[in-house]
A and B are shown apart, each in its own frame.
Chain A
Amino acid sequence: MKRSFLDPSPGTLAFGGLVFTSLVLVAIGPPSARKPWAIENASSPASAPSQVAGPDITLVSVSVDLPDDTVPFPDGPHAAVINANCTSCHSATMALSQPRLSRDQWKAIVEKMRATYKAPVPASAVPEILDYLTAMSGKLPVNGSPTAASADRSGGTG
Chain B
Amino acid sequence: MGSGALLAAPALGQGLVDLALPGGPSSRPTSSSFPEKGEMILQRARPPLLETPMEVFDQGVFTPNDRFFVRWHWADIPTSIDVQRYRIAVRGHVNRSLAISLAELLRMPRVELAAVNQCSGNSRGLFQPRVAGAQWRHGAMGNAKWVGVRLRHVLDLAGVKPGAIAVRFGALDQPVVPTGPDFTKSISLDHARDGEVMIAFEMNGEQMPLLNGFPVRLIVPGWYSTYWVKMLNDIEVLDRPDDGYWMAKAYKIPDTPHANVAPGTKDFPSVPINRMVPRSWITGWADGQTFSYAPELPVGGIAMGGDAGVAKVEISGDLGRTWHEASLGPDEGRYSFRRFDMTLRVPHAGSYTLLSRCTNTNGVTQPMTPNWNPGGFMRGCVEAARVRLT
B101 within 8 A of A: yes
Residues of A within 8 A of B214 (CB): 62
Residues of A within 8 A of B297 (CB): none
Contact A69–B43 (Cβ < 8 Å): no
B234 within 8 A of A: yes
Contact A66–B34 (Cβ < 8 Å): yes
**Which residue of the partner chain, among B80, B97, B175, B270, contacts A62 with CB atoms under 8 Å?**
B80
Number of interface residues of A (CB under 8 A): 81
**Which residue of the partner chain, among B1, B33, B96, contacts A49 with CB atoms under 8 Å?**
B1
B22 within 8 A of A: yes
A11 within 8 A of B: no
Contact A23–B246 (Cβ < 8 Å): no
Of A77-85, A124-132, A141-149, the one touching chain B: A141-149
Binary interface profile of A, 69-108, with partner B (CB < 8 Å = 1, else 0)?
A: 1110000000000000000111101101111110001000
Interface residue SS majority, chain B:
loop
Residues of A within 8 A of B98 (CB): 25-28
Could you tell me the distance between the alpha carbons of A55 and B109 in the complex, rounded to whole angstroms? 11
Of B60-68, B132-140, B305-313, the one touching chain A: B132-140
Q: Give the size category of B's interface with A.
A: 35 or more
Could you tell me the distance between the alpha carbons of A1 and B90 in the complex, rounded to whole angstroms? 12
Q: How far, in Å, is B376 (CB) from chain A's closest CB?
A: 7
Could you tell me the distance between the alpha carbons of A19 and B102 in the complex, rounded to whole angstroms? 9
Residues of A within 8 A of B10 (CB): 70-71
21 sample A-B contacts, Cβ–Cβ < 8 Å, listed by A number = A3-B233, A6-B86, A16-B85, A25-B157, A28-B99, A31-B89, A31-B234, A34-B178, A37-B80, A52-B102, A60-B1, A60-B207, A61-B84, A62-B214, A64-B36, A66-B35, A68-B8, A94-B44, A98-B135, A145-B22, A148-B264
Q: Which residues of B contact A (CB under 8 A)?
A: 1-12, 21-25, 28, 31, 33-36, 42-48, 73-75, 77-87, 89, 91, 96-107, 119-121, 124-125, 128-135, 147, 157, 170-172, 174-182, 184, 201-202, 207, 210, 214-215, 224, 226, 233-234, 245-246, 249-252, 263-266, 270, 273, 372, 374-377
